[in-house]
Structure 1
Amino acid sequence: MVFFDIDGTLIPSMSSSSFLAERLGHQHELDAAEERYAAGELTNEEVSVIDAEGWRGVETRVVADWLDDLPLIDGIDAVVAWCTEHDVEPVLASLAWQPVSEAIAKRHHLTMNGGPRVQVVGTVYDGTVAEHFNEYDKRDRALQLAAERGVPIDQCCAVGDSRSDIPLFDALPTSLALNAGSTARAAATAAVDTKDLRDVLPWLEAWRRDFR
């Protein structure tokens, strides 16, 4: 089982929240909040509250349509095909809002596994957080899914780029920092810089051989 982060990993140029906030009209406020989160000045929950407010009054179908234009890293389908061929389940492990995970999972055939939610009333987002989801929830949900699937921890790995990936990196024997900052690099067992996800395949091949 391989767990992929979304923001900064599968979406290399920006966060999915920033992508949506630009269209929702609160990108400046969110980007400032995310910078403070990266610096350790705000919690993930505080950032989520700021972001969710910008969704108030927007139809769920509108957000779903916008997500068709998410700027994803090249090579996702090739990596998912490798996973299928080698009996490895590709799973999303991310703090991105659930509609983002749902859109990527559906488009590229990955398994969705949790994330924060904006409250929906009828077919409209109401601007409040229905479910918070932090870096420890991300780790715990990943480990829970592995246990449910009967996959030992030593047959799991993770790919990510930031401090929100560190609890999961620490819980698994193998991890890859992809286009990552120094903190995530220090926590991972390997690192790669690339604009194409296919460049992680040699690392995945080596990981897969280790537990055969």
Structure 2
Amino acid sequence: MLTGNQVGAVFFDIDGTLVPRTSSSAFLAGFLGHGAEVTRAEDAYAVGDLDNRQVSELDAAGWAGASEKQVADRLDGLPLVSGIAETVAWCRGNGLVPVLATLAWSPVGSHLADRFGFHAYSGPRLETDEGRYTGRVARHFDEYDKRDFALAQARSLGLDPRACGAVGDSRSDLPLFGSVGLSVAFNASEGARAAATATVDSDDLRDVLPVLGRMVAAVR
């Protein structure tokens, strides 16, 4: 719920950021039986050998026949960094709207938004038929869509992108990092560290709060 006293927004990545040292796709693919293939594809994406569309189509094929309920139930065991709930509460208490800007599949974003109270979420969508996944992508979503989603969220909230921050870890965060006033590389790749305005290494998301606090002080 928004209070009308927003001074900015913070866009949080999921895979590699809120989900540490892996991705939600790899976690779910392990359950669905194609984990090794997804891990190899994500490694290839990280170095630029595959694009997001190729990775998404490979991963989606492994979802064929799985039920939406099976996946939703599995998400309760998704590995997460400590301090997400507290960080979201701090953001809301300090006039920052917490948003998930991610390439994770939409069931993951929906689950985490409901669980922790994020204002909105982005992501690609999987095709379903009568409650089961077909193995096809219904909507692709890449790193530039992620940036555009975040900027659209800022506009809808009446916020200048320079009053917004992003917390992420990898290649998919770079276009967004270049479009907001503050970017935090959290347990990040070398490329993300080089592009970010601040770097934090921690197992607890609350360790980004001093950086976000400086942004709040600057925009008030």
Structure 1 Cα separation of the partners of residues 113 and 57 of structure 2: 24
- 1:85 corresponds to which residue? 93
SS in 1 for 2:16: coil
Give me the TM-score of the superposition, normalised by structure 2. 0.95
Matched residues, percent identical? 53
Structure 2 Cα separation of the partners of residues 168 and 152 of structure 1: 14
Q: Do the aligned partners of 1:113 and 1:142 also contact (CA within 8 Å) in 2?
A: no
- 1:101 corresponds to which residue? 109
Q: CA deviation at 1:86?
A: 1.0
Q: Do the aligned partners of 2:185 and 2:198 also contact (CA within 8 Å) in 1?
A: yes
Within a 5 Å distance, the mapping from 1:52-131 to structure 2 comes to: 52-131=60-139
- 2:211 corresponds to which residue? 203
Gaps of 5+ in 1: none
SS in 1 for 2:178: helix
> 1:101 is aligned with what amino acid?
G
Structure 2 Cα separation of the partners of residues 97 and 111 of structure 1: 17
Structure 2 Cα separation of the partners of residues 144 and 112 of structure 1: 11
Q: Do the aligned partners of 1:139 and 1:167 also contact (CA within 8 Å) in 2?
A: yes
Deviations 1:98-119 (A, max 9, x none): 0000111111111233210110
Structure 2 Cα separation of the partners of residues 113 and 20 of structure 1: 19
Gaps of 5+ in 2: 1-8
Deviations 1:99-157 (A, max 9, x none): 00011111111123321011011101000000000000000011011101111112111
Q: How many residues align?
A: 212
For the pair 1:34 / 2:42, whether they are aligned, the reply is yes
RMSD: 0.7
Structure 1 Cα separation of the partners of residues 84 and 43 of structure 2: 27
For the pair 1:159 / 2:161, whether they are aligned, the reply is no
